[in-house]
C-alpha cells in the first residue's frame, strides 16, 4: 500500500500528521497478513469472539482476497424492500419508433417507418461519485449492527451504480494511543474496490464483516503506528475528537481520494440514523446523490 504523510488540515483541533495508507484490496490483504501472529488485534480476531463477528483473522484475509458471496443476500433483501417502497426512476426521453403514444407528423408524411414517438426510461450521464465508508466503530456497537449497516450501504452503492458512475472506498481512520516518540499521528487505511462492474462478493465482505474492520483494519493501524510492539493496540477516534472527525471526513480524505463529488459515510455510533431509520436514510441518499426523488 502507498504510504503518504501530510500535516493535519488548518482547522484540525490536533496539530500533527495524517498518515495515509491507500491501495486496493489485494494490497491491503498483503499488508494485513504481514501483522505478526502474536499481535493483540490479530490474536483477538477469532471465531469465538462475537465482537469481531466470530470470524478468524485468517478467514477475514481469505475472504478479502476471494470475496464472500454469502454476505450478498442481505443487500439483495434491502434492494427488494426499497424497490417495493418506491421504485427507482430514471430520466425519460422521447424516442422514434414504429409504435408509440403520439405521431411524428413530418416522419409520417415523408413515409418514414419510425413515425411514432414513444417515451422510455434511460440512464442519464452524471459526474462520477466517490462513496467513502468509514468502518471504524464504537466498541459498544454489536457486530450484528455492523453487519446490518454494511448490507444497507452495499444496497445503496448498487442502487447508485444504476444511475451514475460510482467508485467505492472502504477503510478506517483512528488515533493510536501508544504513539512513537515524537509522533502525533492519525492513521487512515483506505482501499478502493472494483465497481465497473461492482465486485459484489468482495464488497460484501469488506462492508459487512466485523472482522474486516475490527480485525484487519485495526491491526494494520496499530502495527503501522508501532511495529515493534505487538501489545500496542489501543485506538481512539481520529484527532481524539469524534464529532470533528465525522464533520470533516471529506476535506481530510479528499487530499488522497480526489473527487469532485463525494459521499462520505462516517463511522457508526449509537445514534446512527443509517441503522435506526434505514428507509429514510436510503431515500435521502438516493435523492441527494442519485437524483432519484421517491416523492415525485
Q: Which has more confidence, 207 or 93? A: 207
Instruction: Tell me the per-residue pLDDT of 212-235, one tens digit each, with 9 for 90 and over.
Output: 999 999 999 999 999 988 887 889
Shared-domain flag, residues 106 and 141: no
Give the confidence band of 119 by pLDDT, cuts at 50, 70, 90: low
Q: Is residue 96, in this structure, part of any structural domain at all? A: yes
For the chain, give the mean pLDDT. Answer: 87
Confidence (pLDDT) at 140: 87
Distances from the Cα of 150 to the Cα of 78, 209, 273, 287, angstroms: 11, 8, 13, 20
Q: How many domains does the chain have?
A: 2
Q: What is the mean pLDDT of residues 18-33?
A: 97
Q: What residues does 103 pair with on adjacent strands?
A: 116
Q: For residue 160, give its domain range.
A: 2-86+125-290
Shared-domain flag, residues 138 and 117: no
Shared-domain flag, residues 274 and 241: yes
Q: Is residue 185, in this structure, part of any structural domain at all? A: yes
Shared-domain flag, residues 53 and 187: yes
Q: Is residue 67, in this structure, part of any structural domain at all? A: yes
Kindly write down the DSSP assignment for every residue of 147-212, as one continuous string. HHHHHHHHHHHHHHHTTS-EEEEEEEEEEESSPPTT--EEEEEEEEE-BTTB-HHHHHHHHH-HII
% of the chain with per-residue pLDDT over 90: 62
Query: Is the pLDDT assigned to residue 245 strictly greater than 60?
Result: yes
Q: What residues does 7 pair with on adjacent strands?
A: 17
Confidence (pLDDT) at 126: 64
Shared-domain flag, residues 233 and 278: yes
- Boundary residue ending a domain (122, 144, 169): 122
Q: Is residue 296, in this structure, part of any structural domain at all? A: no
**264 closest CA partner among 252, 272, 275, 273:** 252
Q: Is residue 64, in this structure, part of any structural domain at all? A: yes
Instruction: Tell me the per-residue pLDDT of 37-76, one tens digit each, with 9 for 90 and over.
Output: 999 999 999 999 999 999 999 999 999 999 999 999 999 9
Give the confidence band of 118 by pLDDT, cuts at 50, 70, 90: confident
Shared-domain flag, residues 73 and 115: no
Shared-domain flag, residues 242 and 117: no
Shared-domain flag, residues 244 and 286: yes
Amino acid at each position: 500500500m502507498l504510504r503518504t504523510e501530510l500535516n493535519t488540515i488548518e482547522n484540525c483541533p490536533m496539530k500533527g500528521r495524517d498518515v495515509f495508507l491507500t491501495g486496493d484490496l489485494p494490497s491491503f490483504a498483503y499488508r494485513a497478513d504481514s501483522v505478526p501472529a502474536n499481535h493483540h488485534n490479530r490474536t483477538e480476531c477469532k471465531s469465538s469472539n462475537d465482537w469481531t463477528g466470530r470470524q478468524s483473522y485468517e478467514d477475514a484475509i481469505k475472504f478479502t482476497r476471494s470475496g464472500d458471496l454469502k454476505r450478498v443476500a442481505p443487500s439483495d433483501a434491502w434492494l427488494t424492500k426499497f424497490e417495493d417502497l418506491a421504485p427507482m426512476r430514471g430520466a425519460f426521453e422521447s424516442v422514434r419508433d414504429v409504435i408509440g403514444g403520439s405521431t411524428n407528423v413530418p416522419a409520417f408524411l415523408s413515409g418514414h417507418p419510425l413515425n411514432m414517438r414513444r417515451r422510455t426510461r434511460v440512464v442519464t450521464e452524471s459526474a462520477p461519485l466517490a462513496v467513502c465508508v468509514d468502518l471504524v466503530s464504537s466498541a459498544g456497537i454489536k457486530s450484528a449492527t455492523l453487519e446490518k449497516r454494511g448490507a444497507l450501504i452495499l444496497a445503496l452503492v448498487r442502487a447508485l451504480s444504476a444511475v451514475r458512475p460510482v467508485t467505492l472506498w472502504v477503510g478506517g481512520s483512528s488515533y493510536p494511543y501508544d504513539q512513537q516518540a515524537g509522533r502525533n499521528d492519525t492513521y487512515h487505511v483506505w482501499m478502493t474496490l472494483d465497481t465497473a462492474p461492482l465486485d459484489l462478493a468482495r464488497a460484501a465482505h469488506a462492508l459487512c464483516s466485523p472482522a474486516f474492520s475490527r480485525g484487519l483494519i485495526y491491526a494494520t493501524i496499530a502495527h503501522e503506528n508501532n511495529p515493534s510492539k505487538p501489545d500496542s493496540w489501543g485506538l481512539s477516534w481520529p484527532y481524539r475528537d469524534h464529532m470533528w472527525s465525522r464533520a470533516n471526513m471529506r476535506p481530510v480524505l479528499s487530499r488522497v481520494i480526489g473527487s469532485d463529488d463525494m459521499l462520505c459515510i462516517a463511522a457508526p455510533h449509537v445514534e446512527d440514523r443509517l441503522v435506526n431509520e434505514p428507509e429514510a436514510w436510503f431515500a435521502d441518499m438516493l435523492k441527494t446523490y442519485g437524483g432519484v426523488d421517491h416523492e415525485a
